[in-house]
Chain A
Amino acid sequence: DAGITQSPRYKITETGRQVTLMCHQTWSHSYMFWYRQDLGHGLRLIYYSAAADITDKGEVPDGYVVSRSKTENFPLTLESATRSQTSVYFCASSEGGGLPGGQYFGPGTRLLVL
């Protein structure tokens, strides 16, 4: 599990501020994902990346920006944080290939927007 890490683990910010959540994996997995977890909604996909420089929207992308200049890193930026973005954010990775496979999650970042 140490193969995928997130930072910071906890973050408090104010409405309107820009926040960047970091994700790093050491497995050389092709795919990386960002999810948010809210009570009653399970895990919802924000953005994903199939490879370096390839990113695409998931189920709930509004208000978020991602980039993937290196295979091992996949930062998530909240350009102007809103209270509705208070959540637990999980980064995940998977090997990719022709068929879907198990995703391995980071420890999560708890974000509070005041």
Chain B
Amino acid sequence: GENVEQHPSTLSVQEGDSAVIKCTYSDSASNYFPWYKQELGKRPQLIIDIRSNVGEKKDQRIAVTLNKTAKHFSLHITETQPEDSAVYFCAASIRNNDMRFGAGTRLTVKP
């Protein structure tokens, strides 16, 4: 089955700096790559996603890039703010029933 690896496990940045989280996947058939943000004690929330027919997608300060050849995708957050502090999860999926998640990245934005 699909295996998703996520790096780094923790990331600390200064407010206003950019943050990049990277994920790799193993199954070349995966075609859907969502990112979730989970604040402490809360549920994971979908923040952005990308499909395999698109190389990049942007939504305000967040963007996701996908390299199908290398089987990796990344989350980019620009102009970070303290409220961006959370755990971020990447995931990869071929079908609705087969979403595999990375282990998560704890992002801390220092004011």
A residues whose Cβ falls under 8 Å from a Cβ of B: 1, 31, 33, 40-45, 48, 50, 56, 58-59, 90, 94, 96-97, 99-108
Residues in B with CB closer than 8 Å to A48 are 96-97
Contact code string B32-58 (vs A, CB < 8 Å = 1, else 0): 101000000011111001010000000
Residues in B with CB closer than 8 Å to A105 are 43-45
Residues in A with CB closer than 8 Å to B102 are 42
CB B94 to nearest CB in A, in angstroms, measures 7
Is A31 in contact with B97, judged by CB distance below 8 angstroms?
yes
State in angstroms the CA–CA spacing of A94 and B49 once bound together.
14
Residues in A with CB closer than 8 Å to B94 are 100
Contact code string B76-98 (vs A, CB < 8 Å = 1, else 0): 00000000000001000111111
State in angstroms the CA–CA spacing of A84 and B103 once bound together.
19
State in angstroms the CA–CA spacing of A1 and B99 once bound together.
20
B101 within 8 A of A: yes
